[in-house]
C-alpha cells in the first residue's frame, strides 16, 4: 500500500513541565499559579498546604517534575519534607521559596545541603510591584532551566534563560599550551553552586598561598550566610567582600548579593571594589565583571573555574582570561545541576579541562604545583 501524499511522519509532542506548589498560604499558591498558568508548557498539576500532603501527592503522581516548596508550614515544614520527597523520587527538582530574612536564608542553605536544587526569594507582603515581578521572572527562569530537557520548548523560555548547550557532536575543543603558575583563583557559579563550592573548597588546601575570588548568584542576606557556612564546612577563610578591602593570600572573597565585585591594584596590592552598576547577564553580582577586572590585575596568572549554573554568565570574562594567557576549568555536564554556565564556556572552546566536580580541586593543585603543561 502506498502512502498518501499528505501523510506525515509521527512526531511525539513534549508534555508540559509538571509542577507542584507547596505553601500553607492559599494567597501565595494562587499568586504563583497565576504566574505559571499562561505558560502553555508549564502545568501546575497539584497544590499542597504542607510537606506531609506534598509527600503523599508525589507518591500518587510520580510524573511531577518540579516542586516549589515553602519553608515554614504547619504539620510538616519544607526542610523536614525534602529527604522524604527525595526518597519518593530521587531526581525530583525542588526549588525553595522563602522571604529574605536571615533565618529563612539560613534554612534555605541547609535545605540545599539536604538536597534541594535551588531557591527563590518570595516577595514580602509589603513589597512593591517590581519585587513581585522579579520573583515571577526568576521562578519561571528556574523552572525552565531545571526541567528535564525533553519537557521544554526552549523557544518559549524567557530570553534570560540561555538555551542549555546541546551535547556536542564531537569532542569539545580544549585549550593547549603551558599553564602559568596561578597568582589568583576565580570561581563562578549559580544554580547548584553552594553545594559545588563546598565540595571544591573542602578538597582544596586552605593554605594554597593565593587569594580566591568567588561570584555566586545569590541575593543579599544569603551571601553573608553562605560565607559563614563555607568557612565552617570547608576550613577556608571565606568572607563576604567589603568595598576597599585589601586582598590577602589564603582568603576567599565572596561577592555580596546585589553588588558586582571587581578588583583593582596590583597582584601584591589588590583592593576589592563593590559597585551597583547595571545587571550583567541579568545578574548582580555577575561573574563577567569580576573576571574582566581580575585579568587586568593578574593577566596570564589567573586560574578560573566555572561551576554549575544556568545562563552563560562568565563566558565573556573567560574569553578575556584565555586571551591573556590564563587557564579555565569547567565542571562537566554529568556532575552539574544545570550545565548552562560551564556548558557555554565549554562550547566556546575556552576550557583547559572539563572535569567531574570531584576532579576540580586535584586539577587546581596540579596546576599550582606546575604539573600541568
Q: How far is CA 7 from its chain centroid?
A: 45
Most confident of 1-15, 94-108, 176-190, 197-211: 197-211
Confidence class of residue 153 from pLDDT cuts 50, 70 and 90? low
Mean pLDDT of the chain: 89
What are the sequence ranges of the domains in the chain? Answer: 17-156, 184-368
* 168 pLDDT more than 60: no
DSSP 263-284: EEEETTEEEEEEE----BTTBS
Per CATH, 17-156 and 184-368 having the same topology is answered yes
Per the document, the length of the chain is 373
For the record, the C-alpha cell of 3 comes out as: 502512502
Q: Which residues of 4-34 are buried (b: 16+ CB within 10 A; e: fewer)?
A: eeeeeeeeeeeebbbbbbbbbeeebbebbee
CATH number assigned to the domain covering 17-156: 3.40.50.2300
CATH superfamily of 184-368: Methylesterase CheB, C-terminal domain (3.40.50.180)
Confidence class of residue 134 from pLDDT cuts 50, 70 and 90? confident
What is the side-by-side strand order in the sheet with 17-22?
Answer: 42-48, 17-22, 66-70, 93-98, 118-121
* 267 pLDDT more than 70: yes
Span 203-224, average pLDDT? 95
The pTM for the full model equals: 0.88
Phi then psi for residue 165, to 5 deg, are -55, 135
* 126 pLDDT more than 90: no
pLDDT given at position 354: 96
pLDDT given at position 103: 85
Residue positions annotated with a catalytic role:
190, 217, 313
What letter does residue 98 receive in the DSSP assignment?
Answer: E
* 93 pLDDT more than 60: yes
Under 8 Å CB-to-CB from 243, ≥6 apart: which residues?
A: 272, 273, 274
Each residue's pLDDT tens digit, 290-334:
999 999 999 999 999 999 999 999 999 999 999 999 999 999 999
pLDDT given at position 122: 86
Amino acid at each position: 500500500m502506498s502512502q498518501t501524499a499528505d501523510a506525515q511522519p509521527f512526531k511525539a509532542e513534549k508534555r508540559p513541565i509538571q509542577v507542584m506548589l507547596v505553601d500553607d498560604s492559599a494567597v501565595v499558591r494562587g499568586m504563583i499559579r497565576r504566574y505559571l498558568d499562561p505558560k502553555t508548557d508549564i502545568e501546575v498539576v497539584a497544590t499542597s498546604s504542607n510537606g506531609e500532603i506534598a509527600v503523599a501527592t508525589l507518591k500518587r503522581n510520580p510524573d511531577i517534575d518540579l516542586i516549589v516548596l515553602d519553608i515554614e508550614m504547619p504539620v510538616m515544614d519544607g526542610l523536614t519534607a525534602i529527604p522524604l520527597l527525595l526518597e519518593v523520587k530521587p531526581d525530583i527538582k525542588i526549588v525553595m521559596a522563602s522571604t529574605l530574612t536571615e533565618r529563612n536564608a539560613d534554612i534555605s542553605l541547609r535545605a540545599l545541603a539536604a538536597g534541594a536544587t535551588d531557591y527563590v526569594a518570595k516577595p514580602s507582603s509589603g513589597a512593591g510591584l517590581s519585587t513581585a515581578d522579579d520573583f515571577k521572572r526568576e521562578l519561571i527562569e528556574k523552572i525552565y532551566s531545571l526541567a528535564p530537557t525533553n519537557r521544554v520548548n526552549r523557544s518559549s523560555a524567557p530570553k534570560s534563560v540561555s538555551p542549555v548547550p546541546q551535547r556536542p557532536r564531537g569532542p569539545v575543543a580544549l585549550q593547549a599550551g603551558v599553564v602559568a603558575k596561578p597568582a589568583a583563583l576565580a570561581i563562578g557559579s549559580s544554580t547548584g553552586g553552594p553545594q559545588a563550592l563546598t565540595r571544591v573548597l573542602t578538597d582544596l588546601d586552605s593554605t594554597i598561598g593565593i587569594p580566591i575570588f568567588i561570584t555566586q548568584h545569590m541575593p543579599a542576606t544569603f551571601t553573608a550566610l553562605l560565607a559563614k557556612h563555607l568557612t565552617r564546612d570547608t576550613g577556608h577563610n571565606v568572607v563576604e567582600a567589603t568595598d576597599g578591602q585589601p586582598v590577602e593570600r589564603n582568603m576567599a572573597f565572596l561577592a555580596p548579593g546585589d553588588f558586582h565585585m571587581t578588583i583593582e591594584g596590583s597582584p601584591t596590592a589588590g583592593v576589592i571594589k563593590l559597585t551597583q552598576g547595571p545587571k550583567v547577564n541579568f545578574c548582580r553580582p555577575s561573574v563577567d565583571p569580576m573576571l574582566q577586572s581580575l585579568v587586568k590585575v593578574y593577566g596570564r596568572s589567573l586560574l578560573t573555574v566555572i561551576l554549575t549554573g544556568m545562563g552563560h554568565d562568565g563566558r565573556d570574562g573567560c574569553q578575556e582570561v584565555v586571551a591573556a594567557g590564563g587557564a579555565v576549568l569547567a565542571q562537566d555536564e554529568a556532575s552539574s545541576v544545570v550545565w548552562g554556565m560551564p556548558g557555554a564556556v565549554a562550547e566556546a572552546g575556552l576550557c583547559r579541562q572539563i572535569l567531574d566536580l570531584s576532579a576540580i580541586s586535584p586539577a587546581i593543585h596540579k596546576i599550582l604545583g606546575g604539573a600541568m603543561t
